[in-house]
Homo-oligomer: A and B are copies of this chain.
């Protein structure tokens, strides 16, 4: 039903290109959707791309360009003149896509391309859109829309619609504005088709309209569309005038980007601005080293903590053997807990007001998980002692009790830290996703050591210590 590039397919295509087989290429492009052609471009080298692109009509070319991978597009456009870019791509694109493509170009090329755009309205729309921050509703919106004055009739509405049908890919609604161009409502296409053409707009339009401002955060605009199940969202300026509209496909990109940022933070690094493969070496190091160094410095406190217990370790080396096991169990449990809470906060399933319910729940869960791991730890030591005679010395039972009960404490503590930390961060107005698995693990490592050696000192006094 839909398209997947296979190696054979690509080989046949590359052969047709190198043979200059125009008929083959035309036939192929005829059959495919612009998104599929873009996927093919992602796999071709520059010369091949240029050969194929000459077979696209201008409208299709614009669509393909938008769907290409960013790095491929960048390379491809760099090989064209500003005039070619303007006339063969930008002229036929919707304003939001055009602005996105132009914003990726080097500054001097941007101006050249803009000067070559034939349609003055299109050029002015793009210049306008380039002014908005890309993380706002203004940065997401397109200028093309169909609007009709409140005092007109449905017939005017249909005329307006027909006049703009060519330039707008998908029309989902006609917006109703007053004499000052302020947005006051909308008419769905369904309504247009089911209402008499003589009806005054005023009598039939829907006043329940949801809109955002140009400076509304892009993630916020996405949340609004998601909450109200909208496919298109009008954007107004500071005084309520209709200036553009956001479509759902752009919002899905915002959602994907937002999720990527959360995941990267939760992986213990800064958010990358580019896809992994195109991220250059030094910027990538910078994004990763920052948090790694912070975590490393946090983790040096484990060396400090352990040096307090150096005498105990010297007397009972067996204690050192279980250090990684115990602290990692706390870290793993904490990582689970923080992941759960971060995600639930992001989806709005829990709110920070519920902190006490979360803590109560996680205290019980943590204790139970600690009990499970503690028992397994105890059994492991008992079993090994039986199998590998004397591997943990004559006081193995005391060691097993120490390890088992430390595990309960450390896991309980790790679980609690992991669940509280995101709530504290959120409360402090920070992003909860920063309480990443590595961050929680580092915190729990230091305290876990203190718990372990304190339990050991208590339980092994007079036996091993």
Q: Which of A158, A332, A333, A445 is most buried by chain B, counting CB atoms within 10 A of its CB?
A: A332
Q: A14 to nearest B CB, angstroms?
A: 16
The answer to whether A289 touches B194, judged by C-beta atoms less than 8 angstroms apart, is: no
The answer to whether A228 touches B324, judged by C-beta atoms less than 8 angstroms apart, is: no
A73 touches B (CB below 8 Å):
no
Question: What's the Cα separation between A295 and B275 when bound, in Å?
Answer: 31
Q: Which of A323, A328, A365 is most buried by chain B, counting CB atoms within 10 A of its CB?
A: A328
The answer to whether A277 touches B357, judged by C-beta atoms less than 8 angstroms apart, is: yes
Question: What's the Cα separation between A267 and B449 when bound, in Å?
Answer: 23
The answer to whether A442 touches B328, judged by C-beta atoms less than 8 angstroms apart, is: yes
List B contacts of A303 (CB < 8 A). 321-322, 324-325, 380
Question: What's the Cα separation between A339 and B377 when bound, in Å?
Answer: 29
List B contacts of A211 (CB < 8 A). 1
Within 8 A of B (CB), among A271-296: 272, 275-277, 281, 284-285, 288-289, 291-293, 295-296
A8 touches B (CB below 8 Å):
no
Contact indicator per residue, chain A 187-209, by CB within 8 Å of chain B (1) or not (0): 01110111000000000000010
The answer to whether B275 touches A228, judged by C-beta atoms less than 8 angstroms apart, is: no
Q: Which residue of B lies closest to A232 (CB)?
A: B231
A424 touches B (CB below 8 Å):
no
Question: What's the Cα separation between A2 and B322 when bound, in Å?
Answer: 55
Complex partner residue of A344 from B262, B275, B336, B376, CB under 8 angstroms: B275
Q: A189-B193, A349-B276, A445-B324 are in contact. Are A266 and B339 (CB under 8 A)?
A: yes
List B contacts of A192 (CB < 8 A). 193
The answer to whether A331 touches B368, judged by C-beta atoms less than 8 angstroms apart, is: no
Question: What's the Cα separation between A94 and B332 when bound, in Å?
Answer: 44
A441 touches B (CB below 8 Å):
yes
Question: What's the Cα separation between A252 and B252 when bound, in Å?
Answer: 7
A300 touches B (CB below 8 Å):
yes
The answer to whether A336 touches B285, judged by C-beta atoms less than 8 angstroms apart, is: no
Question: What's the Cα separation between A165 and B300 when bound, in Å?
Answer: 68
A372 touches B (CB below 8 Å):
yes
A313 touches B (CB below 8 Å):
yes
Contact indicator per residue, chain A 313-341, by CB within 8 Å of chain B (1) or not (0): 11001101111110111011101101111
Within 8 A of B (CB), among A248-277: 248-249, 252, 255-256, 259-260, 262-264, 266-269, 272, 275-277
**10 A-B pairs (CB sep. < 8 Å):** A2-B210, A275-B344, A277-B349, A277-B350, A291-B336, A314-B317, A324-B445, A328-B438, A332-B441, A335-B438
In the A-B complex, the 7 residue pairs with the closest CB atoms: A267-B339, A302-B324, A437-B437, A229-B249, A276-B344, A189-B189, A332-B438
Residues of A within 8 A of B (CB): 1-2, 33, 35, 69, 158, 161-162, 165, 168, 170-172, 188-190, 192-194, 208, 210-213, 224, 226-229, 231, 248-249, 252, 255-256, 259-260, 262-264, 266-269, 272, 275-277, 281, 284-285, 288-289, 291-293, 295-297, 299-300, 302-303, 306-307, 310, 313-314, 317-318, 320-325, 327-329, 331-333, 335-336, 338-344, 347, 349-350, 354, 357, 361, 364-365, 368-369, 372-373, 376-377, 380, 391, 436-438, 441-442, 445, 449
